Structure 1
Amino acid sequence: MSRKILAFAASNSSVSINRQLVEYAASLLEDAEIETLDIHEFEMPLYRHDREEESGIPQLAHDFRDRLASADALLIGLAEHNGHYPAAFKNLFDWCTRIDRDVWQGKPMVLLATSGGPGGAGRVLDIAATAAPVFGGDLRGTWSLPQFYDAFDMEAGELHNPEHVTALKDVLAKL
């Protein structure tokens, strides 16, 4: 029986490079059923305590948590906006914590990040790696890809450098 891996980018950009990286990484996973999702499908009003008191927790937050619950493991690509999570993902995450702080539900997870610059979204990756266990994640590994546009063949949808491929496969093996 194959494992079910839920793969998504913590980005709501229609041209997300982190989504491209996650989809490529997911294609490298053998003996796994891959389900991808787009967090754009889970857009909600900005979290505000008063809003929660007035209207409750949006159904989309419950739906997102249900999708997480249905997976055996998580593969997440983290976009970086000014060194932090994109607002769309942070908002979704905040709503989910109002249901239960254990957002990741004990799932094994690998976190990836990339950017067009030399930092490879390393700041947000560090933040997420530190926070994952606090919110119920069984963090198995992280991997950052700097200089995405130089390292990734957009037409072929794959990494150029065999050393990058090996490093990515090594971290995915921990999942």
Structure 2
Amino acid sequence: MARILAFAGSNSSTSINYKLVKYTTSLVNGHEMNELNMANYPFPLFSVDLEKKEGYSNSLIELKNEIQKADGVILSVNEHNSYPSAYFKNLVDWLSRIERKFLVDTKVLLMSTSQGKRGGFGSLEVSKAMLSRFGGDILATFSLPSFNENFEAGKGIVDPNLKDEHERALMTFLSSF
């Protein structure tokens, strides 16, 4: 049984990426799941001056520890103007200052979704490269386009082809444990 941490790269209380994470974790059986709602994790904008003055918050250290205790991470990144959100980039900046390789030996299922037809693909690609630099082993990726058309509360992914693609990505990730 693997320990899997799941969260979205968004701090929005109405995050569609968090909805995708919750749906994905509902399909996982036989593993210890820890699902985090990042709306409960506010972090100040990173600056070297703030780091020197105040150090690292307890919640940031706890998050880093949760990531490092996990065998795998299920993560869905949101997109702002074709890039990861400022919140997610800021989170990575803080985590990498505590420990550069904060994802070393961690298997990752990386996903994204958006209201648009590209499904956050730009953010997904940038995040894939970024997380690999910090030691993450990206085993599978999935992008869900046009969230409102392809996802329904209580049902999940409704497009059969996208549902199959999502399940294949999840199975690739889970089969590594």
Is the pair's TM-score, using the shorter chain for normalization, greater than 0.5? yes
Residue of structure 2 equivalent to 1:159: 157
Matched-pair contact (CA < 8 Å) for 1:9–1:39: yes
Q: Give the TM-score of the pair, scaled to structure 1.
A: 0.93
What residue in structure 1 maps to residue 97 of structure 2? 98
Classify 1:19/1:157 alpha carbon distance in 2 versus 1 (closer, same or farther; 3 Å): farther
Q: What is aligned with 1:65?
A: 64
Q: CA RMSD in A?
A: 1.3
Q: Which runs of 4+ in 1 moved over 6 A?
A: none
SS of residue paired to 2:6: strand
Aligned pairs for 1:10-49 (under 5 A) are 10-49=9-48
Q: Point out where structure 1 has 5 or more consecutive residues left out of the alignment.
A: none
- SS of the residue corresponding to residue 44 of structure 1 reads coil
C-alpha contact 2:11 2:41 (8 A) present in aligned 1: no
Once the 2 structures are TM-superposed, how far is the Cα of residue 25 of structure 1 from its aligned partner?
1.1
Gaps of 5+ in 2: none
**Quick check: 1:169 aligned with 2:175?**
no
Output one character per residue of 1:52-111: Cα deviation in whole Å (capped at 9) or x when no partner. Answer: 122222222211101112211000011111122222222221111111111213200010
Cα distance between partner residues in 1 of 2:155 and 2:66? 26
Deviations 1:20-59 (A, max 9, x none): 1111111112322221002223212211111112222222
Q: Is the 8 A contact 1:57 1:98 kept in 2?
A: no
Normalised by the length of structure 2, the TM-score is 0.92
